[in-house]
């Protein structure tokens, strides 16, 4: 279904580590880190995958309402996440679990959102990781506006690495069809904003293949907006790291936006509500399984001798322990009380809402002495908050 | 005291807001060199620079969406939507993002954004330039919606809106842009979210906002000849509504008529009627009646005067109220 000009055409992409785990050279990009750093990437990716597996299991067991799996996209997320400087700021979609991991977001907060206890429980300013945005592509504009603010703050192109910063806006292949993403490209280009647009082209927007979104490779879209674009092997953590590092540096120095297309594959369903067997072939999955982002790093580390059996076993054990702890903490997340939410509609509360809240609290109080009825879910009357 | 048109009063208010806080920025189409198509931002880019008065690409969702990002970075953006009918491309960003980030973050992320929208008809414009979309925004939890009816309020309310930590949709009645009054820049303004009795009366309460306040004041003047004393309330704040002022008035007059340009169905009049019925039931001598635009899309301008509520339609509804 691909042709030479198609969005999934078999064209050259930046690759520094082959699916077989061999390091290769690229004329423009190189990975300058050592094997210890690569071992760190390996650990990040294994942990991210284990969190994803646990979350999927929790959903199957009815503990999460939904989960959007990041399976197969670990290199794209960890490679870009680890390239971030300590001042850079990220605007994610709802699938950037690996980036969240790299920025130190407590993974239980990601689960909390999908469990339905809140709408994003992490401190996004402190983590430099904005709340998950569910409306497709909307965050690309937020990222651009934030970058425009950074530029106004004089934190671009000063030459001081302690000051200069950049913004990364994540989105997927489907989002490139959204007006907001295209408008973000225009605003970023027009104002030369310090931003990296990071597109994970995982080939599928729920059931629609990339060919439905684009007739040209996505990275080439950038040239139409007046900034550079590059396609990297999104399953190659070294290539993603190298390309993101370069793009961030470009942004921080005041050279403007760029687009990275991380060419990867959504190994799982769109979300746990989806059934990909209805629209894609098992062959395709097998084809991509051979390009697994974690296996190739393991092969490399094994071959180079930097990773021995003990190392891999340690990471595995750590992942198992982490997942068990995460499960426990997820199950312990308390349900919120609806009355709390009345307090977060406005920074300055309005009388009408205050009255509505008080009225509902009074209504709840009428249940205080009522006998519980089997199978009837009553509002919780024991709210201790300030009414 | 300075004699100012509403457009100039808004300009002066925005100037003071820009002076008061370096984080205030203005963004919109043609707001820079041109000073906006209604000249509300005239001269501001020259005095505050292109970094603070930003000519935006022609994309409303982009204007509001980037304002969200700038607000997250600590700025206080004032967005201009050029005309009422062009706000819809930004609707998703307003309803799904601007209104909710404070809520989504449980109070960690504030959205001090003002979205200015010239609205309403009566200027002989082509399609999409005469709409009254305020009810959409009043229906959205997390937004606050206000509208000025005169230069004095315009001057103060825009400054108060910029100073608010909540997102404010700021409707400006474009057909009143060039009406002028004295503005005392040293006065103490009323709180932003307060209604005001602009004419006292005893027989019927007229409730209006924005462009219809003047229409109602004219109607009240005319009603004297028929022996009726009409009380006129300028609502000023559409969300939240200032019901205390409304309730006090209706309890006194026993009769209430709402007036707006926007279509009747589920307009502000409907919410007012419901709340007045709930809160003033035993004071009412007549049902709450509504004068509004008809439930048709805004008509071609040659017949817009028929579509828009005017003095006669207001007085006709007053008569119906008094007939109960």
Residues B267, B308, single domain; the answer is: yes
Residues B250, B213, single domain; the answer is: yes
Catalytic: which of B129, B193, B228, B260?
B129
B102 and A346 within 8 Å at the Cβ level: the answer is yes
CB-closest option in A146, A187, A353 to B73: A146
Residue of B nearest to A89 (CA): B73
What is the pLDDT averaged over residues B65-90?
A: 98
Contact at 8 Å (CB) between A264 and A218?
no
Residue A369: pLDDT band with limits 50, 70, 90: confident
A183 and B59 within 8 Å at the Cβ level: the answer is yes
> What is the CATH classification number for the domain harbouring B288?
3.40.50.920
Name the nearest CA neighbour of B24 among B79, B81, B75.
B75
Q: Which of B140, B159, B183 is the last residue of a domain?
A: B183
Q: Is B53 domain-assigned?
A: yes
Q: What mean pLDDT, rounded, does chain A reach?
A: 94
Total residues found in chain B within this entry: 324
Closest-CA distance of chain B to residue A76, Å:
24
Q: Collect all residues of chain B within an 8 Å Cβ-Cβ radius of residue A184.
A: 62, 65-66
A138 and B106 within 8 Å at the Cβ level: the answer is no
pLDDT at A5: 44
pLDDT at A387: 47
Task: Tell me whether A136 touches chain B (CB under 8 Å).
Answer: no
Closest-CA distance of chain A to residue B158, Å:
17
Q: Name all contacts of B134-141 with Cβ < 8 Å and 24+ positions apart.
A: B134/B169, B134/B171, B134/B238, B134/B262, B134/B268, B135/B262, B135/B266, B135/B267, B135/B268, B136/B91, B136/B95, B137/B94, B137/B169, B137/B239, B138/B238, B138/B239, B138/B268, B138/B271, B140/B94, B140/B95, B140/B99, B141/A345, B141/B99, B141/B103
> What is the CATH classification number for the domain harbouring B174?
3.40.50.970
Q: Is B188 domain-assigned?
A: no
- Could you list the beta-strand ranges (E) of A283-361: none
Residue of B nearest to A123 (CA): B108
* Residues B180-230 pLDDT 10s: 999 999 999 999 999 999 999 999 999 999 999 999 999 999 999 999 999
Residues B175, B216, single domain; the answer is: no
Indicate if A29 belongs to the active site: no
What is the pLDDT averaged over residues B85-108?
A: 98
Of A272-281, A373-382, B98-107, the range with the lowest mean pLDDT is A373-382
Residues B45, B138, single domain; the answer is: yes
Q: Encode burial over A289-321: b for 16+ CB neighbours within 10 A, e otherwise.
A: eebbbbebbbbbbeeeeebeeebbeebeeebee
Q: Is B147 domain-assigned?
A: yes
Q: Is B256 domain-assigned?
A: yes
CB-closest option in B70, B102, B144 to A145: B70
Residue carrying structure tokens 């005392």: B184
pLDDT at B169: 98
Name the nearest CA neighbour of B283 among B258, B251, B257.
B251
Residues B79, B222, single domain; the answer is: no
Domain extent for B20:
2-183
Burial of A371 (0-12, 13-18, 19+ CB in 10 A): exposed
Dist. CA B254–CA B252, nearest whole Å: 6
Q: Is B189 domain-assigned?
A: no
What is the pLDDT averaged over residues B233-254?
A: 98
In the Cβ-directed half-sphere of A310, how many Cα atoms lie within 13 Å? 2
Q: Is B75 domain-assigned?
A: yes
What is the pLDDT averaged over residues A202-229?
A: 96
pLDDT at B323: 97
CB-closest option in B51, B72, B74 to A142: B72
Residues B300, B252, single domain; the answer is: yes
Q: Is B294 domain-assigned?
A: yes
Q: Is B73 domain-assigned?
A: yes
Dist. CA B90–CA A179, nearest whole Å: 11
Burial of B182 (0-12, 13-18, 19+ CB in 10 A): exposed
What is the pLDDT averaged over residues A217-240?
A: 98
Residues B8, B130, single domain; the answer is: yes
Dist. CA A68–CA B287, nearest whole Å: 52
Residues B290, B165, single domain; the answer is: no
What is the number of structural domains in chain B?
A: 2
Task: Tell me whether A334 touches chain B (CB under 8 Å).
Answer: no
Going from N- to C-terminal start, the domains of chain A cover 35-331, 338-387
Kindly report the pTM of this predicted structure.
Answer: 0.96
Q: Is the pLDDT of residue A2 over 50?
A: no
Chain B interface, best mutation among A89, A122, A131, A142, by max B CB count within 10 A? A142
Name the nearest CA neighbour of B35 among B12, B53, B19.
B53
Residues B176, B291, single domain; the answer is: no
Indicate if B129 belongs to the active site: yes
Residue carrying structure tokens 């609205």: B119
CATH of A35-331, one of 3.20.20.80, 3.20.20.70, 3.40.470.10, 3.40.50.970: 3.40.50.970
Residues B147, B13, single domain; the answer is: yes
Residues B144, B228, single domain; the answer is: no
């Amino acid at each position: 279904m691909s042709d030479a000009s198609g969005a999934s055409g078999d064209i050259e992409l930046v690759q520094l580590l082959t699916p077989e785990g061999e390091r290769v050279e690229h004329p423009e990009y190189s990975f300058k880190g050592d094997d210890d750093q690569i071992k760190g990437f390996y650990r990040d990716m294994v942990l991210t995958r284990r969190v994803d597996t646990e979350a999927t299991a929790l959903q199957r067991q009815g503990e999460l309402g939904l989960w959007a799996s990041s399976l197969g996209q670990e290199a794209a997320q960890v490679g870009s996440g680890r390239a971030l400087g300590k001042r850079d700021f990220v605007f994610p979609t709802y699938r950037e679990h690996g980036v969240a991991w790299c920025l130190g977001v407590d993974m239980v907060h990601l689960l909390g959102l999908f469990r339905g206890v809140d709408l994003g429980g992490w401190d996004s300013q402190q983590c430099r990781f904005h709340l998950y945005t569910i409306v497709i592509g909307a965050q690309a504009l937020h990222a651009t506006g934030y970058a425009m603010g950074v530029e106004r703050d004089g934190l671009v192109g000063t030459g001081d690495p302690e000051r200069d910063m950049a913004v990364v806006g994540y989105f997927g292949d489907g989002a490139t069809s959204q007006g907001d993403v295209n408008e973000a490209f225009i605003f970023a280009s027009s104002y030369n904003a310090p931003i990296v647009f990071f597109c994970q082209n995982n080939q599928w927007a729920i059931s629609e293949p990339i060919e439905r979104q684009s007739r040209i490779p996505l990275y080439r879209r950038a040239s139409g907006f007046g900034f550079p674009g590059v396609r990297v092997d999104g399953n190659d953590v070294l290539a993603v790291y190298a390309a993101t590092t370069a793009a961030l540096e470009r942004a921080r120095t005041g050279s403007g936006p760029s687009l990275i297309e991380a060419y990867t594959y959504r190994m799982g369903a769109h979300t746990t509500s989806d059934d990909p067997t209805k629209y894609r072939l098992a062959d395709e999955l097998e084809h991509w399984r051979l390009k697994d982002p974690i296996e190739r790093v393991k092969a490399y580390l094994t071959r180079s001798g930097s990773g021995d059996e003990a190392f891999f076993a340690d990471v595995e054990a750590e992942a198992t322990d982490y997942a068990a702890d995460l499960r426990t903490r997820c199950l312990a997340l308390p349900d919120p009380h609806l009355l709390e939410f009345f307090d977060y509609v406005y920074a300055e509360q309005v009388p009408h809402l205050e009255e509505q809240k008080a009225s509902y609290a009074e209504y709840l109080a009428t249940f205080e002495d009522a006998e519980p009825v089997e199978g009837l879910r009553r509002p919780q009357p024991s709210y201790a908050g300030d009414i | 005291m300075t004699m100012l048109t509403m457009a100039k009063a808004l300009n002066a208010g925005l100037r003071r807001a820009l002076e008061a806080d370096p984080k205030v920025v203005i963004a919109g189409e043609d707001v820079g060199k041109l000073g906006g198509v209604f000249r509300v931002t005239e001269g501001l880019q020259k005095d505050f620079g292109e970094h603070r008065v930003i000519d935006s690409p022609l994309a409303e969702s982009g204007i509001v969406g980037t304002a969200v990002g700038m607000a997250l970075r600590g700025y206080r953006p004032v967005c201009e939507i050029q005309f009422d009918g062009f706000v819809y491309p930004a609707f998703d960003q307003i309803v799904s993002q601007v209104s909710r980030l404070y809520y989504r973050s449980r109070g960690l992320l504030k959205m001090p954004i003002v979205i200015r929208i010239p609205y309403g008809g009566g200027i002989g414009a082509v399609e999409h330039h005469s709409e009254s979309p305020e009810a959409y925004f009043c229906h959205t939890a997390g937004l606050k919606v206000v509208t000025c009816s005169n230069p004095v309020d315009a001057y103060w309310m825009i400054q108060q809106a910029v100073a608010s930590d909540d997102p404010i949709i700021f409707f400006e009645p474009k057909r009143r842009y060039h009406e002028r009054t004295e503005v005392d820049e040293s006065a103490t303004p009323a709180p932003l979210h307060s209604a005001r009795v602009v004419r006292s009366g005893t027989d019927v309460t007229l409730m209006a906002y924005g462009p219809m306040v003047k229409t109602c004041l004219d109607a009240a003047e005319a009603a004297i000849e028929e022996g009726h004393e009409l009380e006129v309330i300028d609502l000023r704040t559409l969300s939240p509504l200032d019901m205390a002022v409304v309730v006090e008035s209706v309890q006194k007059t026993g009769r209430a008529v709402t007036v707006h340009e926007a279509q009747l169905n589920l307009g502000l009049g409907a919410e007012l009627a419901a709340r007045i019925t709930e809160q003033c039931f035993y004071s009412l001598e007549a049902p709450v009646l509504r004068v509004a635009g008809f439930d048709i899309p805004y008509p071609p301008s040659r017949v817009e005067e028929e579509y828009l509520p005017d003095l006669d339609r207001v007085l006709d509804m007053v008569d119906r109220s008094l007939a109960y």
